[in-house]
Amino acid sequence: MGTGTVWTMKKIKHASIRDPRGMLTRRQAIGALVTPVLANAQPRKYRIIDSHVHVWKRDERYPWAKETTKPPEKDATPEMLLDLMRANDVERTVLIHVIYYRWDNSYAADVLKQYPEFFVGVARVNPESPAAPDDLSRLVEEQKFQGVRLSPADDATGDWIRGPLMPTLWKRCRELNVPMTILAGTTRIPDIAALAEKFPDLTVVIDHMADCPADQPQELRKLLALSRYPRVFVKISHTWSVSKRAYPYPDAQSQVKRLYDRFGPQRLMWGTDWPMAESKCPYAKALAVVRDEMSFLSEEDKRWLLGQTAERVWKFS
């Protein structure tokens, strides 16, 4: 079924169609609306899933964390995102809880509850709190999040990633059967490797190619070294950010090729980082750089990078 059909069906699903004499039945109405879409649809090559977006809303019901000194001036709502998904044939998306709310996952939780057919979510917990494992259990079991994201800074403030609280939190992730997602630069990759060594059966996702600058290719070796852990996955979601060149970011594509050669397509996944990327790389281009510009990818490779790898990591309805 083509994506146009999927979205049309969504609109019809909740429609109230009466059946007095002379009126269309529900079955007839669906057929009338869906058939033209099917007639014009192109065959689907693969299912597209965006593995990395953020949403937020300026609303007193969802206050910014006290640490947020420069809150965003514009909203980034799920409805705005859904419009972009429709326009670009993207079926599902992974919502990464945005740091502006810090450890309060309320807004993302409400979005997941409102749109469970389109989104899965990754939460945040305070990694320096002994209560973090129980907080994660609550978020997963009660609010249906599928994982947690940690962001250790490169400087001493991020040294908690080496601290005594980490093994308990990583163990709880494993017990809950949800992935551990890491936003960190390449200087923290050895710390992540040490934890991956302790928890080899835990799925670990490295965001944004560890933000390795394209003009420092030697730094990518640290990330490449994680390929020895079969449960480690990498998002190739920051080509626009790490590149020193204009679209289609040939220097960043070279980094993706190195990751592809080491990890294989089944452990790499695409993502937009919407709306953070919008000023430099609009949503459609963030998709096109993988789908249309990476000539080293076969159609089968794209099927993995653009959707199926994400389905290995998260459970989509």
d(CA 304, CA 317): 18
- Does residue 1 carry a pLDDT above 60? no
pLDDT digits (tens, 9 = 90+) for 265-288: 999 999 999 999 999 999 999 999
* pTM value > 0.85: yes
Tell whether 28 and 55 lie within a shared domain: no
Say if CB 95 and CB 108 are below 8 A apart: yes
pLDDT category at 317 given cuts 50, 70, 90 is confident
Tell whether 281 and 255 lie within a shared domain: yes
Tell whether 54 and 110 lie within a shared domain: yes
The average confidence (pLDDT) of the chain is 90
Beta-strand relationship, 148-150 and 92-96: unpaired
Tell whether 245 and 285 lie within a shared domain: yes
- Does residue 41 carry a pLDDT above 70? no
d(CA 298, CA 83): 28
Domain coverage including residue 83: 49-313
Tell whether 17 and 112 lie within a shared domain: no
Tell whether 309 and 168 lie within a shared domain: yes
Q: What is the CATH number of the domain that holds 198?
A: 3.20.20.140
Tell whether 146 and 23 lie within a shared domain: no
Question: Of 8-17, 29-38, 39-48, 135-144, which has the strongest mean pLDDT?
Answer: 135-144
Of 178, 192, 186, which Cα lies nearest the Cα of 208? 186
Tell whether 114 and 21 lie within a shared domain: no
Say if CB 91 and CB 51 are below 8 A apart: no
The count of structural domains within the chain is 2
Of 251, 189, 183, which Cα lies nearest the Cα of 217? 251
Tell whether 14 and 56 lie within a shared domain: no
Tell whether 57 and 14 lie within a shared domain: no
Tell whether 92 and 35 lie within a shared domain: no
Tell whether 18 and 122 lie within a shared domain: no
Instruction: Report, as an integer, the average pLDDT of 296-307.
Output: 98
For residue 121, give the 3-state DSSP assignment: strand
